[in-house]
Structure 1
Amino acid sequence: MPVKVDTAAILEEFAQGLPRLAGGRVDYSSARRLPVLLCFVECAGRILLLKRSAKVRSYPGKWGTVAGFIDRALSLEALACAELKAELGVPPECVAHFALGEPYEYTDPSGERTWRLFPMLARLAGTPRIEIDWEHTDFEWIEPQNLADYDTVPMLEESLRRAIRASIA
């Protein structure tokens, strides 16, 4: 059964009292609780991993996936399409299917931040040209079972498991 997400309700819960950026997006830079969309890109059974640059605030140098704050009251699919285009240069028409896994929370061991993670799988219709932005320094297409071989952001394996489970449900 697909997970339904009301992004307006998420903003009401997480964005109270936070400043807004240009265009009305929520500025989570000072927040202790943050809603994050993690969008795994899958093509021909392989998953795209992205190495986070030193310019990002959270987990620089770690391997991760396409990610972004839920900072606007748009569908998760629309937010994922925006992130895919911005971070990878992949246009929405390249996505054949989205599957949303069960959301969950993770508190960083430092106790400074709690992340509500919304894991999603974007299955591509073909192999696009990947053009990473400033958030990443490298990328690799991997077999999902090889994820443990990488130094990843926290909970990436669990997020991938949830996204894959949703894609085959």
Structure 2
Amino acid sequence: MFDSDPTPVVTVFLRNRGEVLLFRRSDDVGSYPGRWGAVAGHVGNDDPQASALQEIEEETGLHEHDVTLIREGSPFTVTDEDRDTRWRVHPFLFDTDTRAIETNWETAEAEWASPTTLLRRDTVPDLWTSYRRVAPSILGITDDTTHGSALLSIRAL
């Protein structure tokens, strides 16, 4: 049984041309070494969006002006019985026009891949759930009267 509230964290998917940035976590990280994840980190000052932007900068070298917030998903709780831990995950999706990133010590490998690649990887807990919370939906595509068909078809992936 858990005596404390879940630890608030952000999971941030960066998207470029329909693919998302995935990281294989280094052996030096405290949780889930060797597993695949996205940009992630603890929420500071009870501000998930500011924390998401901070983690993007720390883990990729990209700045706020390099990314565009597309969607903030509904937070959800992940329970990891093996670690006796609960996480309150705040998922985000940002678009970026660049694939030029600079990773830090937390990352062993980085890859731009189709979101469905998550289904075939050994990931941090509930990474697919995080993605589904921010993934493009049919309503988002149909209601978009701003972007052209080429961009919308890429976003639908």
What TM-score do the two structures reach when normalised by structure 2? 0.80
Cα-to-partner distance string for 1:34-68 (whole Å, 9 max, x where unaligned): 00111111111101000101111110000001111
Cα-to-partner distance string for 1:82-106 (whole Å, 9 max, x where unaligned): 1111111111111123311111101
Quote the Cα distance in structure 1 between the aligned partners of 2:113 and 2:58: 21
- Identity among equivalent positions (%) equals 36
Q: Over the residues paired in the alignment, what is the CA RMSD in angstroms? A: 2.0
Question: In the alignment, is the contact (CA less than 8 A) between 2:6 and 2:77 conserved in 1?
Answer: no
Once the two structures are TM-superposed, the CA of residue 146 in structure 1 deviates from its matched residue by 2.1
Counterpart for residue 92 of structure 1: 64
Once the two structures are TM-superposed, the CA of residue 129 in structure 1 deviates from its matched residue by 1.1
The size of the alignment, in residue pairs, is 137
Shift of the 167–59 alpha-carbon distance from structure 1 to 2, 3 Å rule, reads farther
Counterpart for residue 50 of structure 1: 23
Counterpart for residue 84 of structure 2: 112
Once the two structures are TM-superposed, the CA of residue 81 in structure 1 deviates from its matched residue by 1.4
Residue 59 of structure 1: SS of its match in structure 2?
Answer: coil
Quote the Cα distance in structure 1 between the aligned partners of 2:138 and 2:18: 12
Shift of the 86–167 alpha-carbon distance from structure 1 to 2, 3 Å rule, reads farther
Cα-to-partner distance string for 1:124-155 (whole Å, 9 max, x where unaligned): 1x114111001111111111122212111110
What TM-score do the two structures reach when normalised by structure 1? 0.74
Match of residue 102, structure 1, among 74, 77, 85: 74
Q: Which stretch shifts more, 45-54 or 77-86?
A: 77-86
